[in-house]
Each structure stands twice: as C-alpha cells, then as structure tokens.
Structure 1
Amino acid sequence: MTKSICGVDCRKCELSNTCNGCAETKGHPFGSECLVALCLKEGKDALYKFKKNLIAAFNALNIQDMEEVTELNALKGSFINIEYSLPKGQLVKFWDDNKIYFGNQLSKKDSDRYYGIIADEKYLMVSEYSVYDSDAEIVVFKRWV
C-alpha cells in the first residue's frame, strides 16, 4: 500500500502496518470514512474550503484562553477518542476509532493544560485536558454545519 488519495507517502506513516490504504478502500483505510478523502471527492478546492470553514467555526467559538486555530490535521479516531465522564458518572466516547477526522491540540494560555479540537462533516468538539489526556472535560460539542 503506497498510494494515497491525499498525497501522503504511506510508506512513511506509522500506521502503515494496520492501514488498508485509502486508494485501495476508496477512502475507508481503517474501515470507516476518511474526512480528507470525502472532501477530495469534490476536488482540492473543496478540501481547502472545508478546512477554512471549519477553522473559522472553531475560532468563532471565542473560547477564552484558547489559541487561534490556524491548522487542522487529519487524525485517526483512536488517537483522539478519549473518555469523558458524564454528570451521572457514565464514561463515554463520542468518535469512531477508525474514522479519520480533522483536529489539533492547542495549548491553553498560561496553563499546563490543552484544548483538543476535533470535527467531522457534522459536529465539532472542543475539550480541555491535562498532558496525559486525563481529567478531560467537554467545553463545546455542537453541530457546526
């Protein structure tokens, strides 16, 4: 598997041993959809526009102490799908471990904590957590499109 839809060199990817290839699977390298491949079905301009609109949506949240969002990365769900504790104590995950999302990690200003941002074609989420993803809290979870 050396051919990708987005132009990434699959041979250099740390996930190449478990990936089935996005070109070979028509944009479902781990069994679930890759958001990059979905956008690229409409062309590179569609991918650029999607990311631009998503960055604007994150920045429009005006979250105090969160850096400005300037870049989004393609991230496998299993990397970002941490557990959150709900008010009644249930532990839940919101994302598909095998889907590829857009997201990033941003430093919280004047703190040792981080904001994790993640989105798909319908929803976006901002969470706050410490260095080891512990004590994660949902800051925003909403439909953005």
Structure 2
Amino acid sequence: MDKEGNVLYLGTLSKTVSPGLRIGWVTGPEPVIERLADIKMQTDFGSSALSQWAAAKWLAEACYEEHLAWLRKELKARRDATLRFLQRYAGDITRWNVPAGSFYIWVTFHQPLPVRRLFKGADKKCSPESRFSI
C-alpha cells in the first residue's frame, strides 16, 4: 500500500506462536531490505536454519492463519472470563477497559489500595459468596 517507499512492515511469530522462536520479518523498499540483510549478516552470524525452515513451511501451508483463528478465539474466551471475574469479585471497587485487540486489561481502583492488602486479598480462595473488599 506504500506508494512512496517510506514504510517498513515488521512481523514476528514470538507473541502468536512461541516466544522462544525468535523469528520475525520485515518488508519494505528493496534497497532498505538489502541493507538490513547485510547488517544482519554482519552482526548476528545467522539464525537457526531449522527454525526458519519450519516457520517458512508452516506459513506457506496456511497453518499460521488457522493457528491465529484458534488463538483469537481462545484469547477472547480468556478475556471474557477475566471480565466476568472482575465484574463478580471487584466490580464495586474498580473500573477497567475492555480490550478490543490487545492482551491487557487495565484495571483502576476507585481509591488507593495498599499493595500488601491487594496481594493478601488476591491470595484468598474466592467462593461464589466472597467479594474482594478494600
């Protein structure tokens, strides 16, 4: 979509596949990519050929898209469970955002809460009747 050659697009498999994989990619204007490739060869002596081969095969066979669909469904279920938990156990003492596409829910307490008290309360077993209170 970049008609002027000013954009580099970066991607990685670290958050969606495996943090230890350490495989990513960059697309952009050919002269920039050639220079980046040269710098990479001079600085890191190459990455694991086996992991790069496995990632390339996985991406080429559309496994990545299938995995992303599963991951999005799983993360949405986890997000929804966390939001239900917050509503049930902390709805009267906090407010939070509902993330549309990120990993994090930002929770803000209505009044200051000592960290020790937070951890002590969080350590208690939650029963259906219990609520965390300040």
TM range (shorter): 0.3 to 0.5
Query: Rg bigger for which structure?
Result: 2
Give the strand-richer structure, 1 or 2: 1
Scaled by the length of structure 1, the TM-score of the pair is 0.32
Kindly indicate whether structure 1 or structure 2 has the higher relative contact order, using CA contacts under 8 Å at least 6 residues apart.
1
Question: Which structure shows the higher helix fraction?
Answer: 2
